[in-house]
Amino acid sequence: MTLADQRSFWLVPPAKMNLEANQVHLWRAGLSRDPAAQQAAWAVLSDDERARAYRYRNDEDREHFIARRGILRALLGSYLKIPAAEVKFVYNPYGKPSLAAVSTIDPLQFNLSHSNGMALFGFAWSTRVGVDLERIQPDRGVLELAEKYLSINEREYLAQLAPGAQTGAFFRCWTRKEALLKAQGAGLLIPPEQIEVSFGSDQPAQILAIRGGIEPLDNWYLQNVDFDEDHAAALVVERQAFSTCCWDYSLQG
């Protein structure tokens, strides 16, 4: 199977959202800094989110945070059929947000990632999800980064690729590892070199090994996300049997 076989198609979302038990919904969104969009997002944030927004010193970082929380709340509100402002979060010790108990039978799980003013959101019922999105940065020394974050096998694989293919391959590898760490919830506190993934452009996305004291390989499923040509992205889900729907937030009616 090639990456093209795993291609994600970003569709116009239906007016009424329905997330089935065996589905994962992915959303691709731009983080608008437009004053009207910012005002609308700000209106639904909680006091602690507003306090966090004030702590960003950089205007762009603050506005991107406000925009992604606004979208996250809007999407959670539509799945839970409650107003966006009523969504309540709790955080694990490593900062991963999840929903505080709400009046639904199955807990809705979610994760998000942002890069370069774009964001990726993932949602599923009763199963942990992790997503990661990174802008492919041609000016980053990926072989040096690989020394720090990739396993020996991954470094060897990367080094034998044609130089023109190394940057994209590194970011593909990186997002796949980080999506798994984010699904499990500890993030980068777990050394990424303990995870090994496939990342060749002609290989299916696969978690090949998990070493050390993190959760075992069983039941974690990795999927490439074809975000756009400037970004690498990945999804990790806790179980095998699911289908993925990809919605484009900007195409909402």
Residues found near ligand COA in the complex (CB under 6 A): 65, 68-69, 94-97, 111-114, 132, 178, 182, 185-189
Chain position whose Cβ is nearest to ligand COA: 187
Q: Which is nearer to ligand COA, 1 or 189 (CB)?
A: 189
Nearest-10 crossing angle of helices 152-159, 142-149:
160
CB of 20 to ligand COA, least distance (A): 23
Is 112 or 124 the residue whose CB approaches ligand COA more closely?
Answer: 112
113 vs 151, which CB is nearer to ligand COA?
113
Nearest approach in angstroms of CB 6 to ligand COA is 20
183 torsion bin: left (phi>0), alpha (psi -120 to 50), beta (else):
alpha
Q: How far is the CB of 183 from ligand COA (least distance, A)?
A: 7
**3-state SS of 143-199?**
HHHHHHHCCHHHHHHHHCCCHHHHHHHHHHHHHHHHHHHHHHCCHHHCCHHHEEECC
* Single-letter amino acid, residue 210: I
Distances (CA, A) of 180 to 105, 167, 244: 26, 20, 17
Q: Which residue has the tokens 């303990």?
A: 194
Q: Which is nearer to ligand COA, 85 or 189 (CB)?
A: 189
Shortest distance, CB of residue 68 to ligand COA, whole angstroms?
5
Please, what is the minimum distance in Å from the beta carbon of residue 81 to ligand COA?
22
Shortest gap between Cβ of 182 and ligand COA (angstroms)? 4
The Cα 230–Cα 36 span in angstroms is: 27
Are 27 and 249 contacting, i.e. CB atoms less than 8 angstroms apart?
yes
CA-based nearest residue to 236, from 123, 158, 130: 130
Decide whether 117 or 200 has the Cβ nearer to ligand COA.
Answer: 117
The C-alpha atoms of residue 102 and residue 93 are separated, in whole angstroms, by 21
Nearest to 29 by CA among 119, 135, 109, 150: 119
Return the number of the residue (99 or 161) whose C-beta is nearest ligand COA: 99
Provide the minimum distance between the beta carbon of 114 and ligand COA in the complex, in angstroms, as a whole number. 4
Alpha-carbon gap, residue 128 to 50, rounded angstroms: 27
